[in-house]
Structure 1
Amino acid sequence: MSPLTTNDLKRIFQKLDMNGDDQVSLEELSWLLERIGVQFSQTELESFVGKPSLNLDEFLFFYESISKHSGNNEDEYNEKDQDEVEVEVEEIIIDIVKVFKVFDQNDDRFISCEELQRVLIRLGLMVENSDRDCKSMINAFDANFDGKLDFEEFKSMMLHTSS
């Protein structure tokens, strides 16, 4: 899986804009963040965004800010002590566990092609009847070639795509 493209983000924005006003409210944004396992309190989200809703350009900027914030910037880590880095790593792993649970819809501790496809369709990142894309995404990180991702394979995929 590669990072989200501008077109992917535009489709997500359109799906989130449930009332069609070309704005994504904090409630709509919060709903998405919860679905992908990112936790913000309403106060934190309001403080971070600074307004009650976002237009498309602001939404794209928000995604870019979140992506940069969670990326691995060596200069940033050089300034931090070991305890801070360990806490950040723990938080990233906790977030990956939450995201894994979103994809593992039947709780069998694996992500199948069907589960991956359902979540990507729900997020507007994929159209129905394109399971070939899901198979190739899974195969790229399926270390034991069983056709599905266990948590370690999923974690490898998530850490690979964020770097």
Structure 2
Amino acid sequence: MNSRPIMAVPSVFAAFDEDGDGKVSASELRRCMEATLGEDVSEEEAAAVLVTVDVDGDGLLNQKEFSRLTAGAGAQEEDDADVKRRCLREAFGMYASSPTEDTITPASLRRTLSRLGSHELGVEECRAMICRFDLDGDGKLSFDEFRVMMMA
């Protein structure tokens, strides 16, 4: 049963690689997620998913990374909690305010989202996004808060 989605990955990948550049961007992934999940997915949510499997860190998914994403939603990921945590840690690091600070601030979130192509968000919108998962009320996301957000 697990081999069927993997066999379909090249055609699915090609369908969502709208510009044919061999990479799936966050906006292309968003459309993919909307089509498969049947619900609206924000650009930020798609970007957050993308960074969890973007091994080479270029902000885009190649076919191998895309297949890891499509195959990784099953039981195999549940068995490999360490890999999942490492991927979340890497994604968190992209958004962290600095390499030495272990939090995501509204400014660092805006900066990273801008790099990923979401230029329309201001610091206040980023502050509101953080506020939803800021469990301790300090105005920043710790790794544990980020993990809760990504698992929601």
TM-score over 0.5 for the pair: yes
1:143 aligns to 2:135 (yes or no): yes
Aligned partners of 1:121 and 1:99: how far apart in 2?
15
**Partner residue in 1 for 2:21:** 24
Secondary structure, counterpart of 2:140 in structure 1: coil
Q: What amino acid is the match of 2:89? A: V
CA contact (8 A) 2:97 2:105 kept: no
* 4+ aligned runs moved over 6 Å, structure 1: none
Name structure 1 gaps, 5 residues minimum: 1-12, 15-21, 50-61
Aligned partners of 2:62 and 2:135: how far apart in 1?
41
Which of 111, 123, 131 is matched with 1:131 structurally?
A: 123
CA deviations over 1:43-63 (Å, ceiling 9, x no partner): xx87748xxxxxxxxxxxx5x
Q: What amino acid is the match of 1:70? A: G
User: Among the aligned pairs, what percent are the same residue?
Assistant: 25
Aligned partners of 2:92 and 2:131: how far apart in 1?
17
TM-score between the two structures when normalised by the length of structure 2? 0.56
Instruction: Show the 5 A alignment for 1:53-132.
Output: 62=66, 67-71=69-73, 73=74, 77=75, 85-87=78-80, 89-106=81-98, 107-127=100-120, 130-132=122-124
CA deviations over 1:5-46 (Å, ceiling 9, x no partner): xxxxxxxx89xxxxxxx43245x9xxx9xx935326xxxx87
Q: 1:66 to 1:140 in 2, by over 3 A?
A: farther
How far off is 1:123 after superposition? 0.4
TM-score between the two structures when normalised by the length of structure 1? 0.52
Which of 142, 147, 152 is matched with 1:155 structurally?
A: 147
Aligned partners of 2:112 and 2:70: how far apart in 1?
24
Q: What amino acid is the match of 2:136? A: N
Aligned partners of 1:118 and 1:46: how far apart in 2?
23
Using CA pairs under 8 Å that are at least 6 residues apart, name the structure with larger relative contact order, 1 or 2: 1
Aligned partners of 1:154 and 1:46: how far apart in 2?
25
**Partner residue in 2 for 1:39:** 55
Aligned length: 107
